[in-house]
Amino acid sequence: MSFREKMRSLSLAAAVLTAAAMTWSCSRPAAPAPPAAAAAVGIDELVRLDLLPQFKRSVEVGMVSSYDRSGGNDDGFSGAYSFIRKEPGGLVLADLEGPGAVYRIHTPTPTDDVLEFYFDGEAAPRLALRFNDLFNGTRPPFIAPLAMPGAGGYTSYVPLTYRKSCRIVLKAESFKFYDINYAVFPPGTEVETYTDPPSAEFLGRVERAAALLRRAGSDIGDALVPAGARVSKKTVKARVGPGGRAVLFEASKPGRIVGLRLGPASALAGDGRDIVLRAYWDGAAEPGIECPAGDFFGYSFGQPAVRSLLLGTTDYGTNYFYFPMPFERSARIELVSERAPGGREVEVEAEIVTADAGKRAEEGRFYARWRRENPCLEGRPHTYLRTEGRGHVVGVILQSQGLETGNTYYFEGDDRALIDGRLAVPGTGTEDSFNGGYYDVPGRWETRTSLPLSGCLDYKKALGRTGGYRFFLTDAYAYSASIDYTVEHGGEGNSVPADYASVVFFYSQEPPPPAEPLGPVAARRVTALDRVVFTPGWNVPIHTMSLQNATWTKMSTTVGPDRIRVFSMKTAGNDSFGPHHVSFICDLPEAGTYRVSVTAVTGPDQGLLQLFEHDKPAGQAVNLYSPQRTISGPLPLGEFELQKGENIVYLHLVGADPRSKGVGFDLARIIFERMR
């Protein structure tokens, strides 16, 4: 961190101001307004972020995928839909007409089978490589972070352009999941067909794109500035009390915002979603941006979570946003507190970087729409965006809260985009739409992961929570008349109830129809489950356990007619520091008083189990002995004051029933019920 950044971080935490204070600086003398830039095609689109507002040259965008054509949830599991046709020796994954480009290839199930690319009707493939080699960084031009694994999925953003056609064939008998995003350009568009091996010049452009993506989490404002534009910087410090507002930026001449930084991040954190960011363009009565401020910067259920290329939170606690936002005549950005009287005021510092290049005719204005459905309606998907006109979607963030503990099956739902009246994007699973794969699988989509263009906000199965984000550079969902962009909740029929809150980012030629109101503050608040159940036999983190004379196993076991998964601990002799124990890390959504209980397999070799606090017995011990193996109901351990977030729960074996043949336990569930 530079000295200036450290000072900024300190000032954000310490500023105590009664009104907004503004400072201005210019980085260089005035420059003439830059001319309109030609739309880029291919690899240059990943570098020219200044062209993000520009309408796409494509006449069609779409995605070929392994989605279940019957409307079911077999989006690759059986392989029945994992190709568009079979040919001798291979599966045709895509057969595209040009001029066009393949912009994104994603799969959670790459193999060592050979992937072939046939361009412009050629009889032999120009490019052939093992599917795995597309993502492991060993085969230029497929280098990280343009092509890499992450959160259970494997994704390549290296554009493959072609003049006439592109046919992609996997030399295999069967396959599972895949998504391939493409664009088709108008006839006669000058497009150079990809050659392999790539030229040194092309590899240089690939490296420039990769270098930009590696800057995720740092200031990339320079990549958003049109050539020749003059850059200015404005700093605002403000205190915003309940019901108050602060104007962070205001302009009455053409320009564009190329960087927005706002902090400290802690000022916007919390469950309330009651600090709102609004932006107005060119005198419009309706805001172009209206969003709970934390969610706008990628917070996950009230806490900073993202460190991507285009938005997130820095290591030193400042939020940032780097989508270019051009305007023709005027702009205003304000921060509004909708907290109830007596609520906490917030102290913030904002830095807004602008360029003196006004909105051009071939560019759209920037919009951000926040929507919440709590609960989502059965039989109907959650809508990210439904609008008309011309524009393109450049990003989406989704926070998903299940309504029962341990259930994230809503993530089986597919994203779908109807563009100009046709199904252009048939998704294969919610985590796949965020470049992930296989939620609730260790090492895959099961923990927070932040990559330059996509990531997992969190995965907390016991809390029923997860979410993701993805930003679209080359693969923007461009529409000329309309878009209906949705995501299902549940594998079939939108049948799994859930609480979805989303933010969608897009450019539009004309002001879109007014957004739905944010609604009352109480209806925006992050919700949490009052009953949370952890399954130690699956993936509950272990903090510590007995140092000696104990063994443990995670396993599935049969008890009578039932099959149950348990964390099993067996002891022989004494531990070093008292009763045998194991402690689990249990992440709770709220602080409060909780009734804690367990379910277990009782049996003839089970002991007495008790929860300890500060190395002392607390609550009551439960006797897990029974003559025959049975599955118990909830066995109460007591009521305890627990904190929001991680709690270490120490469970000790404090003895055994006189009839017991051993001292151990087979633990199935730890149950927390919030009392107040």
pLDDT of residue 7: 37
One DSSP character per residue, 386-402 reads: EEESSEEEEEEEEEEEE
Q: What is the pLDDT of residues 288-318, one digit of tens each?
A: 999 999 999 999 999 999 999 999 999 999 9
Smallest CA-to-CA distance from 463 within 524, 400, 411 is with 400
257 close to 225: Cβ distance less than 8 angstroms: no
pLDDT of residue 37: 56
CA distance 603 to 605: 6
Q: What is the pLDDT of residues 10-69, one digit of tens each?
A: 333 333 333 344 444 444 443 444 455 556 788 999 999 999 999 999 999 999 999 999
3-state DSSP assignment of residue 11:
helix
Dihedral, CA atoms, 252, 254, 259, 262, nearest 10 degrees? 10
Q: What is the pLDDT of residues 467-517, one digit of tens each?
A: 999 999 999 999 999 999 999 999 999 999 999 999 999 999 999 999 899
CA distance 317 to 269: 11
CA distance 508 to 326: 11
Dihedral, CA atoms, 445, 450, 453, 455, nearest 10 degrees? 20
The mean pLDDT value for 625-633 works out to: 95
- Which segments of 288-381 are extended strands (E)? 289-292, 311-313, 319-321, 325-327, 331-337, 346-355, 365-373
- Share the mean pLDDT of the chain: 92
Q: What are the helix and strand counts (H, E) for the chain?
A: 6, 45
For 283: left if phi > 0, alpha if psi spans -120 to 50, otherwise beta; the answer is left
Give the CA radius of gyration of the chain: 27
One DSSP character per residue, 487-535 reads: E-SSSSTT-S-EEEEEEEEEEESSPPSPPPP---HHHHSPP--SEEEE-
User: Which range among 338-342, 488-492, 537-541, 562-566 shows the weakest confidence by mean pLDDT?
Assistant: 537-541
pLDDT of residue 22: 43
pLDDT of residue 36: 53
Dihedral, CA atoms, 529, 315, 320, 211, nearest 10 degrees? -120
The mean pLDDT value for 266-278 works out to: 97
CA distance 233 to 357: 14
pLDDT of residue 27: 42
Q: What is the pLDDT of residues 111-143, one digit of tens each?
A: 999 999 999 999 999 999 999 999 999 899 999
pLDDT of residue 2: 40
Q: What is the pLDDT of residues 511-550, one digit of tens each?
A: 999 989 999 999 999 999 999 999 999 888 999 999 999 9
CA distance 669 to 633: 10
CA distance 351 to 164: 47
Q: Indicate the DSSP class of residue 439.
A: B
Q: At residue 500, what is the residue type?
A: Y
Cα-flanking dihedrals φ and ψ of residue 133, to 5°? -70, -10
pLDDT of residue 60: 96
pLDDT of residue 39: 63
Q: What is the pLDDT of residues 343-385, one digit of tens each?
A: 999 999 999 999 999 999 999 999 999 999 999 999 999 999 9
Burial class (CB in 10 A: 0-12, 13-18, 19+), 445: buried
CA distance 570 to 649: 19
Q: What is the pLDDT of residues 576-607, one digit of tens each?
A: 888 999 999 999 999 999 999 999 999 999 99
Domains of the chain listed by start with CATH number: 42-46+54-213 (2.60.120.1390), 532-674 (2.60.120.260)
Cα-flanking dihedrals φ and ψ of residue 157, to 5°? -110, 15
Q: Indicate the DSSP class of residue 192.
A: P
CA distance 339 to 337: 6
309 close to 213: Cβ distance less than 8 angstroms: yes
The mean pLDDT value for 84-97 works out to: 95
Which tokens belong to 268? 């916007």
> CA separation (Å) from 586 to 446, 534, 554, 620, 646?
15, 7, 17, 20, 6
pLDDT of residue 539: 82
pLDDT of residue 28: 42
CA distance 405 to 384: 25
3-state DSSP assignment of residue 200:
helix
DSSP bridge pairs for 236:
22, 350
Q: What is the pLDDT of residues 186-224, one digit of tens each?
A: 999 999 999 999 999 999 999 999 999 999 999 999 999
Around 464, how many Cα atoms within 13 Å sit in the side-chain half-sphere?
A: 22
654 close to 617: Cβ distance less than 8 angstroms: yes
Smallest CA-to-CA distance from 540 within 646, 418, 652 is with 646
Smallest CA-to-CA distance from 177 within 32, 71, 65 is with 65
Count of positions (residues) in the chain: 676
Smallest CA-to-CA distance from 253 within 358, 166, 140, 350 is with 358
